[in-house]
Structure 1
């Protein structure tokens, strides 16, 4: 990178990257896990799974909000030499780095169905939902400050892909039109050409 520029990844995109895999792996594990009777039976398993879904979604959505808010307040303007990572690249890097954890989580959720049917899968799906909710909250934070939040890629690597980890000392900011992801990390919708 020229003249001291840094590679930057969108914070909301990193948070959102795990949402879809966790959701789909969780739904799959819950569907397959509903087949065995298990130790508790289907009714208790599904009720326990619903409670775990809600608890997991709330825990992930609310965790570390204070840290994200504090980092957002200390946001420095991105340099003209900083390189903004594409949404697809950020998502692909995060998912590759966490693929074994995702598969292990799916296997554990599936195995737990022999004790409590569907519960482990619903917990995984709840964690994915929590990540979507956290990304949406970050989008509201970005809109309120009219600044997109970015994290240095090298700091992200040191934190195991967590954009609010200990190695992250501050965030960088750009205008809301920068990059190819909208506030909250979703794909930017482009107006159709007439």
Structure 2
């Protein structure tokens, strides 16, 4: 088992290594609210769009194509707002209770529609990750705190999916993202509390 894992890591292509390094740069900078995260996101997702298409994960390929567009949108959102408007915000929990099941149903429907065209036993997981990730990326662009909770579960599912698809380095990356999700949540929650304190004393 360990020998197989090591051999798969050693066999990882240079282009996948580049995607992984850039992806790590993205999540680290995003947690610190550094706008350079969007440049890393654009480059990494451009590579992943091609990689996922090669291993017949069409929804992941489409998702990363979407991420490329969102990298431009996210950069614009983070820069266009005045200092007082570009702040972390929180959505009420009832929104998430309604939102998540609805998104999973959409993912299930997409997988059923694509099942006749693509032969992949994990198509449903591929589709659900795509749908949840689309919404969560908008949450990042608009600095919604709960995006990190969504990413925690998305990254867990993605690590499993990529491992099953033979992309072991990317699976390790997304397993590492689970820790970054916790780090990002703590960072943004701390800023949200600070904003509340500033507002209370203003």
Give the TM-score normalised by structure 1: 0.33
- Of structures 1 and 2, the larger Rg is shown by 1
Higher relative contact order (CA closer than 8 Å, sequence separation 6+) = 1
Kindly indicate which of the two structures has a greater share of residues assigned to strand. Answer: 1
Kindly indicate which of the two structures has a greater share of residues assigned to helix. Answer: 2
Give the TM-score normalised by structure 2: 0.32
